[in-house]
Amino acid sequence: MAFELFNRILVSDEDITNITVEGIEIGYEFKLQYPSYRGTFLSCIEKLEIRIDNQLIETPRIGFYINGKEVLINELAELFREYWFITDFAVLRIYGEGLEIGTKHKVEVLLRHRIPYTGYFGNYMVEDAACTKVLNVI
Amino acid sequence: MAFELFNRILVSDEDITNITVEGIEIGYEFKLQYPSYRGTFLSCIEKLEIRIDNQLIETPRIGFYINGKEVLINELAELFREYWFITDFAVLRIYGEGLEIGTKHKVEVLLRHRIPYTGYFGNYMVEDAACTKVLNVI
Amino acid sequence: MAGKVKLGISLFSLTPLFVTRQWDLERCLKEVHEMGYEGIEVVAAQMVPNYPYPSDEWIQDFKGLLKKYELTLVTWSAYIDMGIRADRDLTEEEIIQYTRNDMIYAKKAGAQMVRTQHAISPKIYKRMLPFCKEIGVKLVIEMHSPHHPEVDVWKEYLEIMRDPASEGYFGVVPDFGIFQFTPHKIAIDSYLEGGCRKEALDKIIMEHESGRSLEEIINAGDYTEYEKGVIADIKHKFSAPAKVGDLAKLLSCTPYIHGKFHYLEKNCEDSTIPYGELMESIKNSGFEGYIACEYEGHRFDIDPKEQINRFAIMIDKMLK
Amino acid sequence: MAGKVKLGISLFSLTPLFVTRQWDLERCLKEVHEMGYEGIEVVAAQMVPNYPYPSDEWIQDFKGLLKKYELTLVTWSAYIDMGIRADRDLTEEEIIQYTRNDMIYAKKAGAQMVRTQHAISPKIYKRMLPFCKEIGVKLVIEMHSPHHPEVDVWKEYLEIMRDPASEGYFGVVPDFGIFQFTPHKIAIDSYLEGGCRKEALDKIIMEHESGRSLEEIINAGDYTEYEKGVIADIKHKFSAPAKVGDLAKLLSCTPYIHGKFHYLEKNCEDSTIPYGELMESIKNSGFEGYIACEYEGHRFDIDPKEQINRFAIMIDKMLK
Ligand SMILES: [Mn+2]
Ligand SMILES: [Mn+2]
């Protein structure tokens, strides 16, 4: 597949970590990379679905942290001035219970994105990038 | 006036400087401060008018530089995740001819902004902040 | 300071010095410490760099400064900026995210409570209770003018706050501005600057304070159009102050108080808010929290340092 | 390298190593220098931190690296990201701002030209000429597949570029992908992985190259539905390549060329783009700019370093 390379970088190989505030667990997080050769504006993300151990995570539980700010999945399409640099990780924060240290979890991410310069003869190309990895919790 | 303090900080007392790229002048710039006691999101700016020596500057010539990015005046109302911290200056860049060093210019700024937490019994308060200063070009 | 009432200050009081960069955050902390304040409130949207997402380095530095100046971070003051967007109000999801975010950073900074605003809505407020318990932070709502205990939404809030399930996590922060019954010096100066005659204004205020209606005042004098506007403004803003007796009803679920004022005279007294009676009520209630100086008469020509010093003296005298 | 044609490279060629963090920008520069490349193109949206607003510190560091590795920054590659927004295309004002911005940072970084895209529109392109002259930077448009010289908008662009008023500031960057007439190895591997039978694909490609139409190919064999899709894809993508003869017509306003390829065999030849004939045309034209290696066959299992080395060998041989 032509986009095999980019699919594989979507979910970072780095471990899952719990999010803690003064020692209290309030969720967990892992890292995403934009699945392309170049960076983009967040507004080009048309869909972002996260499944952990085959469970779809509801969007209000998710914080998408990039460039020093945390936004909601539902806001991405409007953030046309927020650039996701190709070698920067976005941190995907899932609020709620933490995960047990030492366990492994299946992380599945689907990211649908518009390629903003491809309107050669009309519509823009829209790509689905998908990546599934089993990550450790440390 | 209740907002006298905030009006007076809107235009910084710092000098106007020319914008140069490798020694070539491509415009000039000066600094703005948000006219309030706290920071805000750029989307709360409803109007921003700049007059230099009594001439209204057309918006396509203006770059509003903040938080490491430069946006257009017409975009401000949509930038609901871009925070203007109260002690950070925004740099107002006016592209075109530079200004002669050593001259003085009248800088007039009108900023209309919505106070986003004031909808106690309905509408939000909208304030006009206005500031005129004569600044040096260095 | 007598009893268990402690003297705090919202650093918002120092706005003119902070926004003009005369005092940075450390200077603010140092000065309030030297004036005898023990607890502080920080308006995060005002003094926290990179708000709403301060860096961990900043949090560490801030905690170091609090230690250095022997100050307790009582309250992290947050907003419900319902009108951020030009096209619509914030959604429930967005309000929750902003509120959770403030609570997280407040906790990191060591705050005891987060002050939020009534616009959170009773529904979302109740939804935040588990998170309050999870991270051990109080979430309290300020009752700010033009609200008062008789506003419908506040009846709902007070019921939620009095529910034993929320004890220790929810509460109300009365802002003493709700008790203000007559224009303060800043408003008076503004009316005079606007063209109101001094003798006309004296008469208007006297008649307002004696309980006359808008029509009665207007008909009892020969006023300019601007002066009639002043009368309307005064009647609009200062006709329905909360009653001093209301405070006692709030205090059972009040962990913190905003000692709002716009101007204290040289004798350290406020002629527009009944501080004496309010402090009596507080003393009698057994309230054990902080009362925070919240000076809001910000103008270039008034020294906030002098004002907040007068506040400390006023409260100290009343608590003796 | 013979004559005045110089060997450049778009660092985009190194995408697999860069995006997986195996090579950082400095490593990219070091390696291409060691392979004999003299000029580089940087895709700003790919390799410039804090793009679209890189810091002055980064610019200075970058210039230092270029000097260290004896490289010329030929081209700063920009996009017309017309579809950034979900609700509408960019406005004229926005396109001008993004383009001006790229030109400013390109100039700061010492680039000779900014590559932009056809979506800038002839109208805006013409409006940029004064700024090109003001700061002394060329603004050139890439002619990229599926475009070719016969596309209407390109007839307009070429007229603008040939106008003496724009001489030295405007121009076209032919991307050799426009001359590709048959599927490259990456596409072939993808078809095979998708389920196309090897012998079927060989037959399809042979018949495509011999000029048969979609219907003729489908009717001349017994194909699966997937294979019919492959035939359609090949005919769709590779039926209207630009003619080699077209290049000569472009070269008078061509300051720079994209030597696009997806796979070079061990013998350093491309069987899908007529490089030999194209290079003859270039040599005969007196073209004096850079031809840039633009390797695009990015997969995990192919070493981009080997590919770009083969490109340098191929071009070197052809220019001798
Ligand atoms: Mn208050
Ligand atoms: Mn190309």
Pairing label, strands C138-143, C113-116: parallel
What local confidence, expressed as pLDDT, does residue A3 receive? 60
Q: How confident is the model at residue D301 (pLDDT cuts 50, 70, 90)?
A: confident
- A9/D118 touch (CB, cutoff 8 Å), yes or no: no
- B81/A79 touch (CB, cutoff 8 Å), yes or no: yes
Q: Is C touching B (3+ C-beta pairs, cut-off 8 A)? A: yes
Q: Give contacts of A72 with chain C, Cβ < 8 Å.
A: 93-94, 97
Query: Would residue C271 be called left, alpha or beta, if left means φ above 0 and alpha means ψ between -120 and 50 degrees?
Result: alpha
- Cβ-count burial D211-226 (b if 16+ within 10 Å, e if not): ebeeeebbeeeebeee
Q: Which of D255, D240, D261 is nearest to D176 (CA)?
A: D261
Report residue A114: phi and psi, to 5°: -90, 135
**CA dihedral of residues C189, C195, C198, C201 (deg, nearest 10):** -80
State chain A's mean pLDDT as an integer: 95
CA dist A26 → A3, A29, B54, D204 (Å): 35, 10, 55, 58
What local confidence, expressed as pLDDT, does residue B1 receive? 41
Count how many Cα atoms sit within 13 Å of the Cα of residue C231 in the half-sphere of its side chain: 26
**Interval between CA D114 and ligand 2 midpoint (Å):** 13
**H-type helices in chain C, by residue range?**
15-19, 25-34, 44-47, 56-68, 92-109, 122-135, 152-162, 185-194, 198-209, 214-219, 225-238, 244-251, 275-285, 304-319
Could you tell me which chain A residue has the CA closest to the CA of B69? A81
Q: How far apart are the first and last CA of chain B?
A: 33
Distance CA D172, CA D254 (A): 5
What local confidence, expressed as pLDDT, does residue B3 receive? 60
**Interval between CA C44 and ligand 1 midpoint (Å):** 14
State chain D's mean pLDDT as an integer: 95
- Mean pLDDT, rounded, for A17-31: 97
Distance CA D274, CA D244 (A): 8
Give the whole-number percent of chain D exceeding pLDDT 90. 95
Can you read off the two tokens belonging to residue D147? 């475009």
- A78/B80 touch (CB, cutoff 8 Å), yes or no: yes
Helix, strand, or coil here: C252? coil
Angle between helices D56-68 and D25-34 (to 10 degrees): 20
Can you read off the two tokens belonging to residue C214? 């808008």
Four-residue CA torsion sign, B67, B68, B72, B78:
negative
Give me the domains of chain D, ranges plus CATH numbers: 5-181+240-318 (3.20.20.150), 185-237 (no CATH)
Pairing label, strands A69-71, C138-143: unpaired
Give me the domains of chain A, ranges plus CATH numbers: 4-136 (2.60.40)
Could you tell me if C63 and C25 are in contact, meaning their C-beta atoms sit under 8 angstroms apart?
A: no
What local confidence, expressed as pLDDT, does residue A2 receive? 45
Can you read off the two tokens belonging to residue D79? 């996009």
Q: Give B45's strand partners.
A: B113
What local confidence, expressed as pLDDT, does residue C3 receive? 60
Angle between helices C275-285 and C304-319 (to 10 degrees): 50
- Cβ neighbours around C313 below 10 Å, total: 16
Q: Give A45's strand partners.
A: A113
pLDDT digits (tens, 9 = 90+) for D23-35: 999 999 999 999 9
Could you tell me if C113 and C78 are in contact, meaning their C-beta atoms sit under 8 angstroms apart?
A: no
Distance CA C242, CA C245 (A): 8
Could you tell me if C278 and C312 are in contact, meaning their C-beta atoms sit under 8 angstroms apart?
A: no
Residue D225: is its pLDDT beyond 50? yes
Report residue C20: phi and psi, to 5°: -95, 10
Q: Which of A132, A116, A128 is nearest to A3 (CA)?
A: A128
Q: Which amino acid is at B105?
A: H
Query: Would residue B40 be called left, alpha or beta, if left means φ above 0 and alpha means ψ between -120 and 50 degrees?
Result: beta
Q: Which amino acid is at C137?
A: V
Contacts of A85 by beta carbon, 8 Å cutoff, 6+ apart: A34, A39, D49, D50, D51
Q: Is C119 on the interface with B (CB under 8 A)?
A: yes
Q: Which of A25, A33, A93 is nearest to A57 (CA)?
A: A93
* Beta carbon pairs, A and C, within 8 Å: 35
Distance CA C287, CA B89 (A): 42
What local confidence, expressed as pLDDT, does residue D320 receive? 83
For chain C, which ranges sit under pLDDT 50?
1-2
Shortest CA gap C135–chain A (Å) = 6
Could you tell me which chain B residue has the CA closest to the CA of A70? B81
pLDDT digits (tens, 9 = 90+) for C113-124: 999 999 999 999
Shortest CA gap C53–chain A (Å) = 6
Can you read off the two tokens belonging to residue B45? 């700016």
Helix, strand, or coil here: B50? strand
- A71/B82 touch (CB, cutoff 8 Å), yes or no: no
Q: Which of A62, A60, A10, A13 is nearest to A40 (CA)?
A: A10
Which ligand is nearest to the Cα of residue D41, counting in written order? 2
- Mean pLDDT, rounded, for D57-65: 98
Considering only the C-alpha atoms of chain A, give the largest distance between any 2 of them, rounded to a whole number of Å.
Answer: 55
Can you read off the two tokens belonging to residue B99? 């200004």
**H-type helices in B34-112, by residue range?**
none
- D82/A78 touch (CB, cutoff 8 Å), yes or no: no
Of A69, A71, A81, the CB nearest to B69: A81
- D19/A119 touch (CB, cutoff 8 Å), yes or no: no
Q: How confident is the model at residue B119 (pLDDT cuts 50, 70, 90)?
A: confident
Helix, strand, or coil here: D194? helix
The interface predicted TM-score (ipTM) is 0.94
- A69/B75 touch (CB, cutoff 8 Å), yes or no: no
Q: Which amino acid is at A26?
A: I
Helix %, strand %, coil % of chain C (to 5): 50, 15, 35
**Range from A16-25, B45-54, D146-155, D214-223 carrying the lowest mean pLDDT:** D146-155
**Interval between CA D118 and ligand 2 midpoint (Å):** 12
Q: Is the peptide bond before D304 cis (omega within 30 degrees of 0)?
A: no
Beginning with the edge strand found earlier in the chain, give each strand of the sheet holding A125-136 in spatial order: A55-56, A45-52, A104-115, A125-136
Considering only the C-alpha atoms of chain C, give the largest distance between any 2 of them, rounded to a whole number of Å.
Answer: 63
Q: Give C258's strand partners.
A: C175, C292
Q: Is D touching C (3+ C-beta pairs, cut-off 8 A)? A: no
